[in-house]
Chains A and B, each alone.
Chain A
Amino acid sequence: MKRRTFLASTAAASLGTQILGGIPLKAFSPLELMQPEAQDDDRILIVVQLFGGNDGLNTIIPVEDPEYYRIRPEIAVQKADAVSVLSRVHFHPALAPEGSYNLKSMFEDGRLAIIQGVGYENPSLSHFRSSDIWLSGFNTSDPNKRLVDGWLGRYWAETLPGFPEQLPSDPTAVQIGGTLSMLLQSPRGDVGIALTDPQKFFELGQGLSPDLEPMSDATRYGREYNFIRLIAEQSDRYSTVVKQAFDKGKNAISYSDNGFVQQMKLVARLISGGLKSKVFLVYMGGFDTHVQQQNEDLTGLHPYLLETLSKGIGQFMNDAIAQGFADRVVGMTVSEFGRRPYENGSRGTDHGTASVQFVFGNAVRAGVYGNSPDLSNLDANGDVRWQYDYRRIYADVLETWFGGTPSVTASVFEEGILPLGVLQKPTTVQDAYDGKVELQVRLYPNPTSGSVVVEWQQSSPASVSIDLYTSTGRKVEEAYRGVVQPGPVSIPILPTVSGALICNVVVNGVAHHLPLTVVR
């Protein structure tokens, strides 16, 4: 895999003692060594955090549901005001601002997936607990369990060779603004940096490496000392790399003058300039719309936020297309919860549960996943029931986008999670040559009361895994591991669990999700 070689050479470069073609690597600067690499695996993830809890019901409008209009007499968006695509999907009009590429136009162009009902079991209505659950990738209802690191932090800390003794030449993750999010923290330290202004970062960051060696980690003092020492080192090292990318990069379109949109502009410029970061984290606050979220004329706080979000992502995408890196970028929104379906008396909405999220980019299987929230079947607290575990999108990112395996996913989340299937892996000639293509896989009998046979036609030798998941995406059974030869394949499996399941058949790394019903 190309990424591994790229990372391995980074590690070798920072060791400084390896030999390349008989010449000690020390003779090269790490940057020179890096240039020819990283063409192949240059996939980037952008995480857009909407803090405060975005109101999903006023984002994608359930115009056909009379209950929506009954429980939201003041702040509902009327059908006539919503912006529809094919009369089936109804966007809040603020998501379709004129004069800018936006989420609605991206949906029409097949660059946007709308995932309804994203949430998790036993929802927390606390901003902080729920944000921690989203960012850590651990869903625990035990409030005393401390969530201290993030799913992307853990993934990259495991994936980067020699981390953290050896830092990659470019920061693995870049957060625009603020202090580094839990998302990018790992048990071995932060896998990213936070920066606001590359020019200032460069001016202030240079020469900050401490002259002092690390201390022993045996004392609390030593640990905190070493933490700060590494920040100093990262400030020095990455300020130059970031500045080089910033100076070399450009934006091909003009962006709106707004904090969040400008964050997206900076991300585009850094990517354009060749910064080899894998993850960018951008942040929008203000979604905690308890009060006056929308005026009668559909202006106000929440519409403003939606418009900003739509412009930021749309203009970024437009830029990415213009500069030719759109195929390398996918993004996703995360927000700790949606709002309560019924409005409160302050023209606002209180904390709720499951909500709609967006996944965007050229590699997205565009469309709407799941149904509009069922407002006639709310939970005991009057909140929306969830349809998709939020980690199914993450699992997609890990397995489809970053090239991880189901076992990597299981180690990151400490349980098996089935990818949602919202991302498609770009198929290269090499992939086709390696037999990494989608197949026509069939299950029979289905429904079954006993065993099931998994069948397909195989063109080259392949390694196969078959696992069973619940319909919510949690892994319940490992059904098969093995290698198959070219020709018709027929693998009998005997599920021990029953109910509505998803059978995940992975052939040479390509996943196939098949619904399976087991009745006993």
Chain B
Amino acid sequence: MDRRHALQQLIGWGVRPSHPTAGDMQMLQVEAGLEPYTQPLTLDDVLHLYRRLSFSASMEQAAQQVGRQASDVVEELLGTGIEQQPASPGAWVNVWTENPRGADLQTRAAIERSWQTNMAALGSWWLSLMTTDPSAVEKLTLFWSQHWSTEFSFDNTYSVPQMLYRQLGKLRQYRLGDIRQLALEITLDPAMLYYLGGTYNTKGAPNENYARELMELYLTGLGWYTEGDVKEGARILTGWRSQRFSDEPAPNDRYETWFDAAAHDMGAKQFLGQTIAARTEDNNTAFQVRNEEVLRMIEIIVDVRSDAVARFLAEKVYRYFVYSSPTDVDQTMVAGLGDVLKASNFEMRPMFFALFTSAHFFDPQLRGVQIKTPMEYIAGLLRQLGKTATGLSTWASRMDQAVMDPPTVAGWPGYRAWMSTNTYPVRREFARTVIQGMSDQELGTWIRSIDGHDAAESFVRTVLQLLLPVAVTEERFSYYLQALLQNAPAYDWPVILDDQAAAAKRTRDLLITISKAPDFQLC
């Protein structure tokens, strides 16, 4: 495809065109593609990489990577998948929760309250990890968590936080591996079995919920299966059970899946044109059904629909990490990433690596175009300011990204849906709270971490470089310089710096002013 023939049509269309349709307004196509980005990384490059692949960087973290090759840095950030899991959020993750059903009202309320408490703890724990771990581990885990979405609160009931914590561990562990492995783990994951009704899926009258979403939302997208495939898929998935409460059977120990052979449909199934053979009582075992039917079903999807699966996942990755606009997806890049995925036999790591080391990813036209997700916004700001905070999961909820509790089974709609008259004021409030909450001493330390902080102009320039994704005009720069100096001459700044309280107050004013900029919401 000739990228040079892209045209730019500008129609006087007001301040806020939100969904350009064909012919209205085409953006200039980005010429850079999947070819590797080989220039030594500049500070802007590093900051861009960390904004997208992690949760931003502190100035110190970023400075260490300047001058290195993207391939080396990305290799380190992605990790291996065999890292140790982080320390758990608390002893509660191994405590078996009681069944509130049938309990008296008070006990019931206490049990459900403990879930709320534990869920908040899980959320704040995860957000703290995002804030402190500079690698890509938690970002990729979050990507998969919103892909294989599972709601904490749904249908007037709850996913038990202990189960969600375990699911998160699987997403973290398998984030880079074979998509079939990840699909198998989640298909039989206890929290997912509850969430999409798999644990009730029984031969004779199967429940189609998970079979449909496995294809529509997780692997192929719409248009690559028939309603008949959904029905047959539901039959394949009959018989898998889990338990939420201490009074339910748990043959494989708590919060583990088990197989109820009597509930499994042993008949032959026709799925996507392939036959899964009928079985007898003898081979109707957990081990065999898991491999010969559940895994086989996933393999059939990936084999028979390999182009669709590659494209579907590549587009999801592209929109999550590069540009989320549904009408401005670079199809050449998506096709290229899909090819990488197929070439690696659906191992995810090479695709992530190719994307984050590509010239396309580093193209200036694609910087600052992503609306920060609430978690990017929260963890990013704290990381940039070297600050920690508590109660983070509440903030995320108020910005409409309750941890592991998306609005629907499709996860969060993302992109511009993140920003509304409901959530924007909360974002501003969060920034204000964090910035005002920094003590004079904390700010003093932070100021000293900024290169060139002893001259007002270089200090403001570097702060803007850290906090905003694209360089500002000179006019805006003067405006921010003024926010710091407040009518003092620039040469007074070193003197002000000697007075910790005065320097902190002015820096707070500067940060608050920057946080009001629309592009403070972009990354």
Among residues of A, the one whose C-beta sits closest to the C-beta of B323 is A220
Among residues of A, the one whose C-beta sits closest to the C-beta of B12 is A217
Contact B522 A348 (CB under 8 A): no
Contact B17 A217 (CB under 8 A): yes
Q: Does B325 contact A (CB under 8 A)?
A: yes
Contact B522 A225 (CB under 8 A): yes
- Residue-wise, chain A 203-221 has the 8 Å CB interface mask toward B (1 for contact) of 0110010111010011111
Contact A290 B209 (CB under 8 A): yes
Contact A238 B421 (CB under 8 A): yes
Q: How far is the CB of A272 from chain B (nearest CB, A)?
A: 21
Q: Which of B202, B222, B328 contacts A220, CB < 8 Å? A: B328
Q: Does A307 contact B (CB under 8 A)?
A: no
Q: How far is the CB of A411 from chain B (nearest CB, A)?
A: 14
Residues from chain A with a CB closer than 8 A to the CB of B5 are: none
Residues from chain B with a CB closer than 8 A to the CB of A348 are: 197, 200, 207
Q: Does A128 contact B (CB under 8 A)?
A: yes
Contact B422 A196 (CB under 8 A): yes
Given known A-B contacts A345-B204, A351-B208, A230 and B522 have beta carbons under 8 A apart: no
Q: How far is the CB of A231 from chain B (nearest CB, A)?
A: 5
Contact A143 B420 (CB under 8 A): no
- Residue-wise, chain B 373-416 has the 8 Å CB interface mask toward A (1 for contact) of 00000000000000000000000000010000001111001001
Contact A345 B428 (CB under 8 A): no
Q: How far is the CB of A244 from chain B (nearest CB, A)?
A: 16
Q: Does B177 contact A (CB under 8 A)?
A: no
Complex Cα spacing A368 to B368, Å? 53
Contact A286 B154 (CB under 8 A): yes
Q: Does B425 contact A (CB under 8 A)?
A: yes
Complex Cα spacing A185 to B327, Å? 14
Q: Does B521 contact A (CB under 8 A)?
A: yes
Q: Does B350 contact A (CB under 8 A)?
A: no
Residues from chain B with a CB closer than 8 A to the CB of A345 are: 200-207
Q: How far is the CB of B48 from chain A (nearest CB, A)?
A: 12
Q: How far is the CB of B108 from chain A (nearest CB, A)?
A: 16
Complex Cα spacing A217 to B20, Å? 11
Within residues 181 to 198 of chain A, which ones have a CB less than 8 A from any CB in chain B? Answer: 185-190, 193-196
Q: Does A127 contact B (CB under 8 A)?
A: yes
Complex Cα spacing A229 to B424, Å? 10
- Residue-wise, chain B 432-460 has the 8 Å CB interface mask toward A (1 for contact) of 00000000000000000000000000000
Contact A234 B421 (CB under 8 A): yes
Among residues of A, the one whose C-beta sits closest to the C-beta of B400 is A179
29 interchain pairs (CB within 8 A)?
A125-B212, A127-B409, A143-B221, A148-B326, A164-B14, A178-B407, A179-B417, A179-B419, A187-B19, A188-B16, A189-B17, A193-B420, A204-B426, A204-B429, A208-B424, A208-B425, A220-B323, A224-B371, A231-B421, A231-B424, A239-B425, A285-B154, A286-B154, A288-B209, A290-B208, A345-B203, A346-B202, A348-B197, A381-B227
Residues from chain A with a CB closer than 8 A to the CB of B156 are: 286, 301, 304
Residues from chain B with a CB closer than 8 A to the CB of A288 are: 155, 209, 409
Q: Which of B326, B407, B422, B516 contacts A195, CB < 8 Å? A: B422
Q: How far is the CB of B428 from chain A (nearest CB, A)?
A: 6
Residues from chain B with a CB closer than 8 A to the CB of A291 are: 155, 197, 200, 207, 209
Complex Cα spacing A351 to B367, Å? 41
Contact A232 B326 (CB under 8 A): no
Residues from chain A with a CB closer than 8 A to the CB of B368 are: 221, 224-225
Q: Which of B28, B212, B326 contacts A146, CB < 8 Å? A: B326
Complex Cα spacing A368 to B128, Å? 56
Given known A-B contacts A232-B518, A346-B207, A292 and B200 have beta carbons under 8 A apart: yes
Residues from chain A with a CB closer than 8 A to the CB of B469 are: 221
Q: How far is the CB of B513 from chain A (nearest CB, A)?
A: 8
Q: Looking at A186, A232, A348, which has the most chain B CB atoms within 10 Å of its CB?
A: A232
Q: Does B13 contact A (CB under 8 A)?
A: yes
Contact A224 B522 (CB under 8 A): yes
Q: Does B248 contact A (CB under 8 A)?
A: no
Complex Cα spacing A286 to B204, Å? 25
Among residues of A, the one whose C-beta sits closest to the C-beta of B420 is A194
Q: Does A177 contact B (CB under 8 A)?
A: yes
- Residue-wise, chain B 224-262 has the 8 Å CB interface mask toward A (1 for contact) of 000100100000000000000000000000000000000
Residues from chain B with a CB closer than 8 A to the CB of A292 are: 200
Q: How far is the CB of B463 from chain A (nearest CB, A)?
A: 17
Q: Does B283 contact A (CB under 8 A)?
A: no
Complex Cα spacing A425 to B56, Å? 56
Complex Cα spacing A424 to B375, Å? 48
Q: How far is the CB of B20 from chain A (nearest CB, A)?
A: 7
Q: Does B466 contact A (CB under 8 A)?
A: no
Q: Which residues of A contact B (CB under 8 A)?
A: 51, 124-129, 143-144, 146, 148-149, 163-165, 177-180, 185-190, 193-196, 200-201, 204-205, 208, 210-212, 214, 217-221, 223-232, 234-235, 238-239, 285-286, 288-292, 301, 304, 343-346, 348, 350-351, 381
Q: Which of B8, B422, B518, B521 contacts A212, CB < 8 Å? A: B518
Q: Which of B154, B202, B367 contacts A221, CB < 8 Å? A: B367
Complex Cα spacing A210 to B512, Å? 12
Contact A124 B222 (CB under 8 A): yes
Q: Closest 5 A-B residue pairs measured CB to CB?
A: A345-B205, A204-B425, A346-B200, A143-B222, A189-B16
Q: How far is the CB of B68 from chain A (nearest CB, A)?
A: 26
Contact B424 A235 (CB under 8 A): yes
Contact A188 B517 (CB under 8 A): no
Q: How far is the CB of B232 from chain A (nearest CB, A)?
A: 13
Contact B207 A211 (CB under 8 A): no
Q: Does B223 contact A (CB under 8 A)?
A: yes
Complex Cα spacing A127 to B209, Å? 11
- Residue-wise, chain B 4-39 has the 8 Å CB interface mask toward A (1 for contact) of 000010100111111111001101100000000000
Complex Cα spacing A165 to B212, Å? 43
Contact B518 A187 (CB under 8 A): no
Q: Which of A187, A201, A228, A232 contacts B522, CB < 8 Å? A: A228
Contact A179 B517 (CB under 8 A): no
Residues from chain A with a CB closer than 8 A to the CB of B208 are: 290, 344, 350-351
Q: Does B300 contact A (CB under 8 A)?
A: no
Residues from chain A with a CB closer than 8 A to the CB of B284 are: none
Contact A165 B15 (CB under 8 A): yes
Contact B425 A221 (CB under 8 A): no
Q: Looking at A185, A223, A288, which has the most chain B CB atoms within 10 Å of its CB?
A: A223
Residues from chain B with a CB closer than 8 A to the CB of A212 are: 476, 517-518
Complex Cα spacing A285 to B323, Å? 29
Residues from chain A with a CB closer than 8 A to the CB of B202 are: 345-346
Residues from chain B with a CB closer than 8 A to the CB of A218 are: 8, 10
Q: How far is the CB of B100 from chain A (nearest CB, A)?
A: 15
Q: How far is the CB of B512 from chain A (nearest CB, A)?
A: 12
Q: How far is the CB of B43 from chain A (nearest CB, A)?
A: 19
Residues from chain B with a CB closer than 8 A to the CB of A148 are: 19, 21, 326-327
Contact B20 A187 (CB under 8 A): yes
Complex Cα spacing A214 to B16, Å? 9
Complex Cα spacing A143 to B20, Å? 19
Complex Cα spacing A140 to B422, Å? 31
Q: How far is the CB of B236 from chain A (nearest CB, A)?
A: 15
Given known A-B contacts A220-B328, A286-B155, A205 and B425 have beta carbons under 8 A apart: yes
Among residues of A, the one whose C-beta sits closest to the C-beta of B151 is A285
Complex Cα spacing A223 to B8, Å? 14
Contact B197 A220 (CB under 8 A): no
Q: Does B418 contact A (CB under 8 A)?
A: yes
Residues from chain A with a CB closer than 8 A to the CB of B21 are: 148, 187
Contact B222 A290 (CB under 8 A): no
Given known A-B contacts A127-B408, A224-B371, A235-B424, A230 and B15 have beta carbons under 8 A apart: yes
Q: How far is the CB of B434 from chain A (nearest CB, A)?
A: 15
Q: Does B365 contact A (CB under 8 A)?
A: yes
Among residues of B, the one whose C-beta sits closest to the C-beta of A350 is B208
Q: How far is the CB of A186 from chain B (nearest CB, A)?
A: 7
Complex Cα spacing A239 to B424, Å? 12
Contact A179 B16 (CB under 8 A): no
Q: How far is the CB of B511 from chain A (nearest CB, A)?
A: 15
Contact A301 B155 (CB under 8 A): yes
Complex Cα spacing A73 to B318, Å? 47
